[in-house]
């Protein structure tokens, strides 16, 4: 009895955070800042900032296979191999296909990074605030679910996150893409600047702006306190930034939380389920399987934050089945795992631009400009699809590998590759998908993984609405590039499966009505108020913007609310 009592005391915390990635790091930071003894559970290995970035400072000739994954490894891992950031520089951060298999009822590319920091080490670092229209549009236009929060409620938390992270961008004064607490932006190059002028002259209601991204283009005192440095515009970010110039949990929120003395981290911790006490009608902790030994451990806490990333959070909730919730934690209405959504990235356009051959640009700027959403934004437009999209856009000159397939050899080839080629243009859709009931994840009734957890079944697909939006993007994108004077314009459809955008959301959506949602406006499970969900699983719709900034703002808001409620004795 004494041994059991000591064991429980040692494993008891004020708060438990499941996941150490983008939102898990933020939950840990905020809870520790509020003085709460906090446990972070990470199912992957420990990854220490700087120390565990083995390829960060390698020269091109030092990189294994010049960055190319071997054909054998590509064949073994076809899903992760489709990710834009996966190569021999970064493969140590990614989860390989066979390491945590799942069942694809419909094709779905589930890209994962199990390890401290999660996908915050690998994200593209772009992010924009949602506008009031994004929170209002689903209910306004009649195709979606009413959000329980407004832009005005979240705006202070956007500022809170932007200030701490360091977010570069320009104050553009657009209601559809609200300004934030920005560092100076990366400048557009000469061709992008000209394209902007021409597009906005031809289409006055369409605005092309500098990209907004989580990079330190200048270092403020708050960033010095985090021991982070200036972005060098190397664009080798996926290798792990030794300067801490882009935001990751590893360089920022987790070390900050660690310095409070309130943080405990456990790695190789596969969360099996949330423990619920039917008598107390509250969650009391979590069951954890050691990923290496297979042994089971229980940890206890007054409040629990689920930040395992969207689909794994759904998996944990679905696998948490006390008597009170036989179909999954908080699943009184049968909606847990439903309305999974994503971003439509299939549309692409390539083009060229004559001239400007005497002009170039400095460095390898991360990110790039975008064209703000202009469809169905301020009102429902007379078009044949719901939702909106933005367009990522960039101009560049061909790089060092130009001429690889050229017939020239020797001195002639060296001269060719030492000079930049013509300007090429890229444009890509980032489209809002409409959440539908049929798009879902669920647990397999037949197969379990090596930790004894049922495998996740993904059943997510495109809709006719997505196809109509893609068609409109191609038409409007071509028209804009033609107005900008581009030539050799080619339209592309990648036909990629959902999931490869790595922006999956939903399954445990927020809402005011417990019959139609899983979480309330503070991200608490309706039927279990000491469990909070603040990663992508909590989202009620997608919008067109990159989601990570909104995830982090929602997490900071919810964590401080939880701390307030704990101080009041309500949790």
Over the stretch 438-465, which tens digit does the pLDDT of each residue have?
Answer: 999 999 999 999 999 999 999 999 999 9
Q: What does pLDDT average to over the chain?
A: 95
Q: What is the dihedral of CA 339, 120, 305, 448, to 10 degrees?
A: 60
Q: Give the residue-averaged pLDDT of 352-371.
A: 91
Over the stretch 546-560, which tens digit does the pLDDT of each residue have?
Answer: 999 999 999 999 999
Q: Quick one: pLDDT band at residue 6, thresholds 50, 70, 90?
A: confident
Q: What is the dihedral of CA 117, 247, 538, 288, to 10 degrees?
A: 10
User: What is the crossing angle of helices 132-141 and 151-165, to 10°?
Assistant: 140
Neighbours of 183 (CB within 10 A): 24
Over the stretch 79-127, which tens digit does the pLDDT of each residue have?
Answer: 999 999 999 999 999 999 999 999 999 999 999 999 999 999 999 999 9
Compute the distance between CA of residue 443 and CA of residue 300 in angstroms, rounded to an integer.
Answer: 25
**Which pLDDT value is given to residue 402?**
47
**Which pLDDT value is given to residue 46?**
98
Q: Quick one: pLDDT band at residue 237, thresholds 50, 70, 90?
A: very high
Q: Please tell me whether residue 3 adopts helix, strand or coil conformation.
A: helix
pLDDT over 60 (residue 169): yes
Hey, what are 404's tokens?
Answer: 């690889």
**Which pLDDT value is given to residue 413?**
74
pLDDT over 60 (residue 191): yes
Compute the distance between CA of residue 370 and CA of residue 391 in angstroms, rounded to an integer.
Answer: 5
pLDDT over 50 (residue 134): yes
Q: Give the residue-averaged pLDDT of 481-505.
A: 98
Q: Quick one: pLDDT band at residue 2, thresholds 50, 70, 90?
A: very low
On whether the CB atoms of residues 471 and 277 are closer than 8 A, the answer is no
pLDDT over 80 (residue 15): yes
- Phi, psi of 457, deg, nearest 5: -105, 125
On whether the CB atoms of residues 530 and 304 are closer than 8 A, the answer is yes
Hey, what are 221's tokens?
Answer: 């005192």
Confirm whether pTM is higher than 0.85: yes
Q: Please list the helix, strand and coil fractions of the chain in percent, rounded to the nearest 5, in that order.
A: 30, 25, 50
**Which pLDDT value is given to residue 399?**
56
Q: Which residues contact 267 (CB under 8 A, 6 or more apart)?
A: 42, 43, 44, 45, 46, 116
Q: Please tell me whether residue 318 adopts helix, strand or coil conformation.
A: helix
**Which pLDDT value is given to residue 287?**
98
Report the CATH number at residue 334. Answer: 3.50.50.60
**Which pLDDT value is given to residue 412?**
78
On whether the CB atoms of residues 349 and 478 are closer than 8 A, the answer is yes
- The count of structural domains within the chain is 1
Q: How far is CA 94 from CA 106, 187, 313, in A?
A: 23, 31, 18
Looking up tokens 């039917």 gives: 278
Compute the distance between CA of residue 316 and CA of residue 44 in angstroms, rounded to an integer.
Answer: 16
Q: Give the residue-averaged pLDDT of 69-82.
A: 96
Over the stretch 136-145, which tens digit does the pLDDT of each residue have?
Answer: 999 999 999 9
Compute the distance between CA of residue 24 and CA of residue 27 in angstroms, rounded to an integer.
Answer: 5
| Domain span holding position 335 | 2-567
Hey, what are 434's tokens?
Answer: 């409409």
**DSSP letters spanning 273-299:** EEEEETTTTEEEEEEEEETTT--EEEE
Instruction: Kindly provide the residue ranges of all beta strands, DSSP E only, lying in 294-398, ordered along the sequence.
Output: 296-306, 338-341, 343-344, 347-353, 370-371, 389-397
Q: Quick one: pLDDT band at residue 336, thresholds 50, 70, 90?
A: very high
On whether the CB atoms of residues 46 and 271 are closer than 8 A, the answer is no
Q: Give the residue-averaged pLDDT of 332-361.
A: 96
User: What is the crossing angle of helices 190-202 and 464-483, to 10°?
Assistant: 110
Compute the distance between CA of residue 47 and CA of residue 379 in angstroms, rounded to an integer.
Answer: 46
**Which pLDDT value is given to residue 364?**
87
Over the stretch 367-426, which tens digit does the pLDDT of each residue have?
Answer: 899 999 999 999 999 999 999 999 999 999 875 444 444 566 778 777 777 778 899 999
């Amino acid at each position: 009895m004494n041994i059991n009592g000591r064991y429980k005391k040692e494993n008891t915390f004020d708060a438990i955070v499941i996941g150490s990635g983008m939102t898990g790091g933020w939950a840990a930071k905020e809870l520790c800042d509020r003085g709460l003894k906090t446990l972070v559970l990470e199912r992957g290995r420990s990854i220490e900032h700087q120390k565990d970035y083995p390829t960060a400072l390698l020269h091109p000739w030092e990189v294994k296979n010049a960055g190319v994954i071997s054909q054998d490894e590509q064949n073994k891992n076809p899903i992760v191999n489709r990710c834009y950031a996966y190569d021999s520089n970064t493969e140590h951060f990614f989860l390989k296909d066979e390491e945590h298999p799942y069942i694809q009822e419909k094709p779905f590319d589930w890209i994962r990074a199990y390890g401290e920091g999660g996908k915050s080490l690998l994200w593209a670092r772009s992010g924009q605030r949602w506008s009031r229209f994004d929170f209002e549009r689903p209910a306004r236009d009649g195709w979606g679910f009413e959000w329980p929060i407004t832009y005005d409620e979240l705006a202070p938390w956007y500022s809170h996150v932007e200030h701490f992270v360091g977010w570069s961008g320009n104050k553009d004064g657009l209601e559809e893409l609200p300004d934030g607490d920005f560092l100076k932006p990366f400048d557009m190059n000469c061709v992008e600047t000209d394209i902007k002028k021409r597009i906005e002259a031809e289409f006055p209601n369409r605005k092309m702006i500098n990209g907004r991204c989580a990079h330190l283009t200048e270092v403020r005192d708050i960033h010095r306190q985090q021991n982070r440095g200036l972005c060098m515009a190397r664009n080798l970010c996926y290798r792990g930034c030794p300067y801490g110039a882009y935001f990751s949990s590893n360089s920022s929120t987790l070390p900050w939380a660690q310095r409070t003395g309130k943080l405990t981290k456990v790695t190789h911790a596969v969360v099996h389920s949330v423990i619920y006490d039917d008598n107390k009608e509250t969650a009391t902790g979590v069951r954890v399987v050691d990923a290496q030994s297979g042994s089971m451990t229980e940890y206890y806490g007054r409040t629990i934050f689920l930040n395992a990333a969207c689909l794994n959070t759904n998996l944990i909730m679905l696998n948490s089945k006390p008597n009170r919730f036989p179909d999954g934690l908080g699943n009184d209405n049968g909606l847990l795992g439903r309305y999974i959504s994503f971003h439509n990235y299939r549309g692409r356009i390539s083009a060229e631009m004559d001239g400007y051959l005497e002009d170039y640009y400095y460095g390898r700027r991360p990110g790039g400009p975008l064209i703000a959403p202009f469809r169905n934004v301020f009102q429902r437009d007379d078009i044949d699809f719901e939702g909106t999209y933005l367009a990522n856009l960039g101009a560049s000159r061909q790089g060092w590998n130009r001429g690889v397939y050229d017939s020239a050899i020797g001195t002639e080839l060296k001269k060719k590759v030492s000079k930049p080629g013509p300007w090429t243009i890229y444009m890509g859709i980032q489209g809002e998908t409409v959440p539908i009931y049929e798009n879902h994840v669920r647990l397999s009734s037949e197969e379990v993984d090596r930790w004894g957890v049922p495998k996740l079944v993904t059943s997510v697909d495109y809709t006719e609405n997505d196809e109509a939006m893609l068609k409109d993007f191609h038409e409007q994108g071509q028209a804009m590039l033609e107005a900008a004077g581009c030539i050799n314009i080619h339209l592309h459809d990648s036909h990629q499966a959902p999931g490869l955008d790595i922006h999956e959301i939903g399954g445990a959506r927020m809402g005011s009505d417990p019959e139609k949602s899983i979480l309330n406006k503070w991200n608490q499970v309706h039927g279990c108020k000491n469990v909070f969900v603040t990663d992508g699983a909590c989202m009620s719709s997608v919008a067109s913007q990159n989601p990570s900034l909104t995830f982090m703002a929602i997490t900071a808001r919810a964590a401080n609310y939880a701390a307030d409620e704990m101080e009041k004795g309500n949790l």
